[in-house]
Amino acid sequence: MDEEMVRERDARAYEAVHEAADFTKLKTRYKNFVVPWTIAFMAWYLAYVACCNWARGFMDHQVVGHINVALIFGLLQFVSTFVIAAVYGRFANRKLDPLASGLNAKYKRERRR
């Protein structure tokens, strides 16, 4: 096959997948997960930064020994990142991957035509 025919075949296969109801469902599910979690994480991060800048007395408060609120908030930033990643991984395995696998199979079938 010449290169132009391969490109046309691939474009038709992509169009077929793009027009599938499962593709729209996949995009919607992804967006409905990512947008709220991104907003939540950014709010949490900005709250941490704001407290470090404007609530120094609160952030300097000693909790145990030399461990203060700022250190705990900083460590919780890492924890929240890993928690969100784990929640996303579980969500993707249950809700996104089955749709994506089906769409991948559809793409491969369409390319063989």
Please write the tens of the pLDDT for every residue from 31-73.
Answer: 999 999 999 999 999 999 999 999 999 999 999 999 999 999 9
pLDDT, tens digit, 9 for 90 and up, residues 74-87: 999 999 999 999 99
User: pLDDT at residue 1 above 80?
Assistant: no
Give this prediction's pTM.
Answer: 0.84
50: left (phi > 0), else alpha (psi -120 to 50), else beta?
alpha
User: What is the reported pLDDT for 40?
Assistant: 97
What are the backbone dihedrals phi and psi of residue 68, each rounded to the nearest 5 degrees, phi first? -110, 175
- Bigger pLDDT: 10 or 41? 41
Size of the chain, expressed as the number of residues it contains: 113
User: What is the reported pLDDT for 70?
Assistant: 96
DSSP output for 20-87: SHHHHHHHHHHHHHHHHHHHHHHHHHHHHHHHHHH-HHHHT-EEETTEEHHHHHHHHHHHHHHHHHHH
User: pLDDT at residue 113 above 80?
Assistant: no
Separation of alpha carbons 70 and 51, rounded Å: 8
